[in-house]
Amino acid sequence: MAPQLDSFFKQVDTLADSFIDRLRKAVAIPSVSADEERRPDVVRMGEFLASELKALGASVELRPLGPQPHKEHLELPPVVIARYGDSPSKRTILVYGHYDVQPALLEDGWATEPFKLTVDDKGRMYGRGSTDDKGPVLGWLNAIEAHQKARVELPVNLLMCFEGMEEYGSEGLDDFIEREARKGGFFEAADAVCISDNYWLGTEKPCLTYGLRGCNYYSIEIRGPAQDLHSGVFGGTAHEPMTDLVRVMASLVEPDGTILIEGIKEMVAPLTEQEKALYGDIAFTMDNLYESLGSTTGIYDDKEKTLMGRWRYPSLSLHGIEGAFSAPGAKTVIPAKVTGKFSIRTVPDMDPKAVDEAVFKHIDKVFASLKSKNTCKASLQHAGKWWVASPSHWNFTAAGKAVEHVWGVKPDLTREGGSIPVTLTFEQATGKNVLLLPMGSSTDAAHSVNEKLDRKNYVEGIKLLGAYLHYVAEEPMKG
């Protein structure tokens, strides 16, 4: 395998600039799934991927998912599914990624245009989607191209599934995966699944990830007057939706992160001595946290508690208020209707439905205690369950060998604080092992301003994805 991998690696280095160009084209498409106006761009991004895959000789389909739930006037973007290689003597690996991105505006505080890939003198490639998840998705395409140009045969059959709604709760995808994993479906032949859509814990050490938190995302709508009001004329005469909302939102969580909703704490699996012992060995320091925070405002002073806070305990984050005055200046308005957004990252053994019940009961109780004449309606926007797998499977063994080959170190086994809702669906529907194999580092600022992917992580990451396919082809089949 070594000479083949060497030729492949050499081609990746030779083609690195053209791979960066491919990422530049992808970042230039503002495929923001949460923004209705951007839906044509999300579709265009799916079409871009499909045409790149076709040019590489893959057989590709754009599968429609139908109208978007609760927004029936909008079509969901298509799932791009592709097959590269169909040899019965080879193992089949199913890879998943997403081609949609989080919203991004220059005025949010970006130092460069968010949808223009900008590479600085340290090789940091800034742009929305660079690390989440366009870089890793293109990593698979680049690995195919470098194999072709190096005249090295891909040692596995590759099935690809790239969706355009991950950042909006993967609407419509669960049913699609369940259908296609059945007999005769597109995913039936998969022997294992690999997802590259999370991040290293720090900036130096690669990792393999075997767990994710889930995410229940809620909104609280409070309305009263028929339209926005002058606060001088009406302040002191009417119940104000914003005043109610900040009280309700503040009742959800303490400044130290403690969730104040009754019953949530009791749903969390107790920490065992065996699990506790795992955290000490993980290559992570408080400085890693401070570097990625860009500040020293961590809740805990020690590494173990910080890792547990990210991986194995739930968290509740307040995200924003739609309808509130947020522009610069001093507008003296009373907003008539405001919608607060928050989410809860869930962990074993939390049942998403039981979390909903506890949340709605809490909000009703707190709102009632305000004795406001406004109306309050809380709803779930989307939910995805947590996932924890066994990292002792051959899929992980192969990935570990590939990491050692490319990066020269044994990877850490980590869990992830973020969520990829379909991971559990892939595991349950295919009955196969799922591995998370991250490309980007902890300082990439996914979802934030100035998202980036380092050139080194991209180029070595492409080598890693290719090397993984070689090692996975060689692992003895044990399950």
Q: Where does this chain bind ligand L7UNP4BN (CB under 6 A)?
A: 132-133, 166-167, 169, 197-198, 215, 217, 384, 418-420, 446
User: Residue 309's binding partner, choosing from Zn ion, ligand L7UNP4BN, none, with beta-carbon cut-off 5 to 8 A by kind?
Assistant: none
Nearest approach in angstroms of CB 167 to Zn ion is: 5
The token duo for 43 is: 């579709």
Of the candidates 70, 73, 51, which has an alpha carbon nearest to the alpha carbon of residue 62?
Answer: 51
Nearest to Zn ion of 176, 367 (CB atom): 176
Query: x/- site string to Zn ion, residues 126 to 165, per CB under 5 A?
Result: ------xx--------------------------------
Residue with tokens 């060497």: 6
Spatial contact of 413 and 208, defined as CB atoms under 8 Å apart: yes
In the complex, least distance from residue 417 CB atom to ligand L7UNP4BN, rounded to whole angstroms: 8
419 belongs to an annotated ligand binding site? yes
Q: Which is nearer to ligand L7UNP4BN, 146 or 165 (CB)?
A: 165
Q: What is the dihedral of CA 435, 267, 350, 392, to 10 degrees?
A: 20
CA-nearest of 65, 166, 78, 67 to 421 is 166
CB 445 → Zn ion: shortest distance, Å? 11
Does residue 161 contact residue 81 with C-beta atoms inside 8 Å? yes
Q: From the list ligand L7UNP4BN, Zn ion, none, which binds 198 (C-beta under 5 to 8 Å, kind-based)?
A: ligand L7UNP4BN
Query: What is the Cα 149 distance to its own chain's centre?
Result: 31
Q: How far is the CB of 113 from ligand L7UNP4BN (least distance, A)?
A: 21
Residue 72 known to bind ligand: no
**DSSP code per residue over 5-61:** HHHHHHHHHHHHHHHHHHHHHHHTS--BTT-GGGHHHHHHHHHHHHHHHHHTT-EEE
| Closer to ligand L7UNP4BN by Cβ: residue 198 or 288 | 198
Is 251 flagged in the annotation as binding?
Answer: no
Residue with tokens 């020269």: 408
Closest CA to 435 of 386, 470, 474, 468: 468
Is 244 annotated for ligand binding? no
C-beta of 7 vs 448, nearer to Zn ion: 448
User: Contact region for Zn ion (CB under 5 A) — 6-14, 195-203, 209-217, 322-330?
Assistant: 195-203
User: Is 272 flagged in the annotation as binding?
Assistant: no
Nearest to 467 by CA among 196, 87, 163, 80: 196
Closer CB to Zn ion, residue 199 or residue 218? 199
Partners of 387 in beta bridges: 212
Q: Three-state SS for 222?
A: strand
Active site residues: 100, 166
| H-only helix segments in 236-272 | 241-250
**Would you state the structure tokens that stand for residue 164, as one six-digit string?**
């355009």
Q: Is 100 in the site for Zn ion (CB under 5 A)?
A: no
Residue type, 224: G
CB of 371 to ligand L7UNP4BN, least distance (A): 34
> Is residue 70 marked as binding?
no
What are the C-alpha distances in Å from 156 to residues 65, 93, 468, 471?
Answer: 28, 7, 10, 10
Closest distance to ligand L7UNP4BN from the beta carbon of 189 (Å)? 26
Q: Name which of 132 and 191 has its Cβ closer to ligand L7UNP4BN.
A: 132
Pull the structure tokens for residue 2: 């070594």
Where on the chain is the footprint of Zn ion (CB under 5 A)? 132-133, 197
- Write out the binding residues for substrate: 197, 230, 332, 345, 419, 447
- Write out the binding residues for Mn(2+): 98, 132, 167, 197, 447
- Write out the binding residues: 98, 132, 167, 197, 230, 332, 345, 419, 447
